[in-house]
Structure 1
């Protein structure tokens, strides 16, 4: 099960705010031996949000959706999720009790809408202001506020996804081939991709500068022991072809 994120808000795409969620999610996952596979940024467009959520519901990944679950007119995520699932919106009874308990008569007519979720949704407790997020399948919806979103994500992971945690997370091992051109090494790269299907392979070329020659950083990402074997064999193959090899940033 891959992990993905939908990060929603016009303010992010306009540059009014800088996204902090992606790096935080990477850290939260890494602490549990997990990795982030993909991220999608979306403005406050109901059509785009609904389409992205439809893909998320159908895709089978573990997905965290940030933002758009408030009570203002530009908060479309709850309604988009319901349409993507083909269900009605409904006031969740537990959410109703929480919101009424927090705001009393001031919960109506607007704040109570923060407890209206797609029918069948499950609540995610909010430790900051108690207004819950919600889950539908493996897609989990949290507010755009970091102080609320991040502990809510941790609680979702710790309560429901411990089977995905790893005590030996993947490593990213790299080396640098000096004066190398990708076009000259495609056959070697193809051979190693076929030989190690359990690993992710990367090739990152850099142009020559006044300080250093042209070079390519190659990497293998996956289980530590397998990645180490692949890197050692790749280094040997490069040297056999006459290339100078240097350690990369990842090992």
Structure 2
């Protein structure tokens, strides 16, 4: 007997670290970036294969392995309905966080005590799209929470994602985003950089601010108070990407 509990699947009397992938696009991205699914299910094989043919023709063979279940069985296993009627079950990958902090060839995104799970997931999504070296968070929010995974559309599997206790073990130059920093437009961000972003409500903590090698700011129209966290991460990483192309 299996019971879903906080993103884990309980089998018998013990917990195994099984992650629930909710929806076709989450499953698609997880498969594309190497996730090994223990199993996956659909409420309509015909509908799912139609989506696969139009959105993931490279994964047709993998989607053929899905097991068709009733809507009631889907809810029992996943915990809720999903518009696409597709879900998968996989294991959380091992992430060498210490190695990630020690050396990189593309910037590491560091989120300083993020509070919004959807924002954290969206940050992982844009970081994956722009080729960041990884995403780590400081604080009590689990970056592998089901709501974060949903917000990333399964792109947790495209780059290392983890949590750190603080910034003490971070190597490489730290560029902290702050409204009072120098304009990022004239700053060259190296591949081993750490891009640090404060929480949505309180901004950068004292510890991260003290560790920062440089404070940099994003261009912003007067009277506009701030950008969304995901937008800020996307702008900073795109700035890095443009310098990469020019070099």
When Rg is computed on C-alpha atoms for both structures, the one with the higher figure is: 1
TM-score, normalising length: structure 1: 0.30
In the superposition, the TM-score normalised over structure 2's length comes to: 0.30
- If asked which structure has higher relative contact order (CA below 8 Å, sep 6+), I would say 2
Structure that is richer in helix per residue: 1
